[in-house]
Amino acid sequence: MNTKTIVGAVIILVFIIFGAYSFLDSNVEYTDIAGAMAKGKKVQLKGTWNKERETKFNASTGQFSFYLVDDHGKECQVILEGAAPNNFELATSVVAKGRFTKEGYFHANEVLTKCPSKYEAKGSEVVKPQS
């Protein structure tokens, strides 16, 4: 075989391995707190922000911490590397991507918020089309 063919095959193989690794790293499953503790790998936790517990940003470490309650009522502390996400105070639900640490908190590298839509009708208001 000639050298160009071998170099080309190696480059293609490297790209295939890199693509597979990137796909597996981005393919993060949703779970609850108990499942995240048991798995010990990167997951997505869906829940709500417990506004009654302490929420703070530590400027010296650059970390934002809050408490998340999952759909089963279980609670955990989430520490995010960085500031609070936009509209965090308005969020109706929160998704934290990360993993549990040995210290017992959920270390997130990304937090997504779902805010109420400005396009939804308020209360029992029904919009009737005009004819």
Asked if residues 104 and 110 have their Cβ atoms less than 8 Å apart, the reply is: no
* pLDDT confidence of residue 108: 93
Residues 6+ away with beta carbon under 8 Å from 16 = none
Go through the domains of the chain in sequence order and give each one's CATH number. 30-114 (2.40.50.140)
* Residue 69 to residue 56: CA distance in whole angstroms: 17
- pLDDT (0 to 100) of residue 27: 66
Structure confidence at residue 79 (pLDDT): 95
CB 94 within 8 A of CB 110: no
- Whole-number pLDDT of residue 85: 87
Predicted pLDDT of residue 21: 80
> CA quadruple 122, 124, 129, 131: dihedral positive or negative?
negative
**pLDDT tens for the chain, residues 1 to 131:** 688 888 888 999 999 988 878 776 666 788 888 888 888 788 999 999 999 999 999 999 999 999 999 999 999 999 999 898 888 888 889 999 999 988 989 999 999 988 776 665 555 555 556 65
